[in-house]
């Protein structure tokens, strides 16, 4: 998370969305920067609104004076990136081997995730939960597609008054991955909220109207988000904070 309200933005670092490359480029501009610890680096909107927003307000930065922004990846591509990341050989030898995916096909990984396997579902979470608040399904002001990062670069360059560049980006396709048709259909259904947000970004990077939440299980879902962040703090995501790319 990089808060630069003096430049008109707060960047929330979605996992597997070039967050490390973006962090390296923007950190010198931040008044508040949380990094290294995954639960802080990848602080979601709920965490920001509880802990950072009040600090910014006390410092004289009102919420309407800056945009909260993040990057959002095609959901199946996002899952594939997690599977690849957890399939690293060094992970199999580390103390986190139970999360290792190098010995299971992507199709099996996705089915385990859908079925709530705690090794994957809890610690990985969902992108749609990252951008929401107790009141809104989408609380983040501006969301940029990972596959269209030049839009993000233009936006940030304009805010900062200088040209930024992002290196070592590895955009994986959201199609033609090794998934059976039935698994793909199940995964799209499971990630329906993620796809709803992603597809609404087709005509631009700003969702003009915040969407009120109508789900009756909001409290339970938010509790699961908290559990996921705690799990990530003790799991593979800790390695991600030290990675050199944001793929």
User: What is the full DSSP assignment across 185-222?
Assistant: HHHHHHTHHHHHHHHHTTT-SB-SS-EE---TTHHHHH
Q: DSSP letter for 11, please.
A: E
Q: State the pLDDT at residue 91.
A: 79
Nearest Cα residue to 1 out of 26, 16, 226: 26
Q: Which helix (H) or strand (E) holds 91?
A: helix 89-93
Over the stretch 76-125, which tens digit does the pLDDT of each residue have? 999 999 999 888 888 787 666 778 888 899 999 999 999 998 888 778 99
Interatomic CA distance for residues 14 and 239, integer angstroms: 15
Nearest Cα residue to 197 out of 184, 181, 186, 213: 213
Lowest-pLDDT choice from 46-55, 214-223, 224-233, 238-247: 238-247
Q: 3-class DSSP state for residue 174?
A: coil
pTM of the model: 0.81
Over the stretch 154-183, which tens digit does the pLDDT of each residue have? 999 999 999 998 875 544 444 457 899 999
Lowest-pLDDT choice from 32-36, 71-75, 166-170, 186-190: 166-170
Q: Cβ(246)–Cβ(22) under 8 Å?
A: yes
């Amino acid at each position: 998370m990089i808060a630069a309200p003096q430049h008109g933005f707060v960047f929330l670092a979605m996992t597997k969305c070039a967050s490390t490359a973006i962090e390296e480029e923007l950190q010198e501009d931040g008044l508040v920067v949380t990094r290294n610890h995954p639960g802080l680096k990848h602080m979601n909107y709920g965490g920001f609104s509880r802990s950072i927003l009040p600090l910014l307000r006390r410092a004289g930065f009102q919420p309407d004076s800056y945009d909260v922004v993040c990057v959002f990846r095609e959901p199946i591509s996002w899952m594939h990136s997690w599977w690849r990341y957890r399939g690293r050989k060094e992970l199999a030898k580390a103390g986190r081997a139970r999360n290792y995916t190098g010995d299971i096909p992507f199709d099996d990984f996705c089915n385990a995730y859908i079925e709530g396997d705690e090794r994957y579902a809890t610690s990985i979470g969902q992108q749609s939960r990252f951008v929401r608040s107790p009141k809104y399904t989408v609380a983040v002001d501006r969301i940029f597609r990972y596959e269209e990062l030049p839009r993000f670069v233009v936006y940030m360059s304009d805010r900062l008054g200088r040209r930024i560049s992002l290196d070592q980006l590895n955009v994986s396709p959201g199609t033609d991955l090794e998934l059976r048709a039935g698994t793909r259909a199940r995964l799209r259904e499971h990630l329906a909220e993620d796809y709803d947000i992603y597809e609404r970004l087709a005509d631009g990077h700003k969702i003009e109207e915040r969407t009120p939440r109508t789900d009756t299980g909001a409290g339970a879902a938010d509790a699961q988000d908290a559990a996921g962040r705690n799990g990530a703090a003790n799991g593979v995501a800790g390695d991600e904070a030290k990675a050199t790319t944001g793929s």
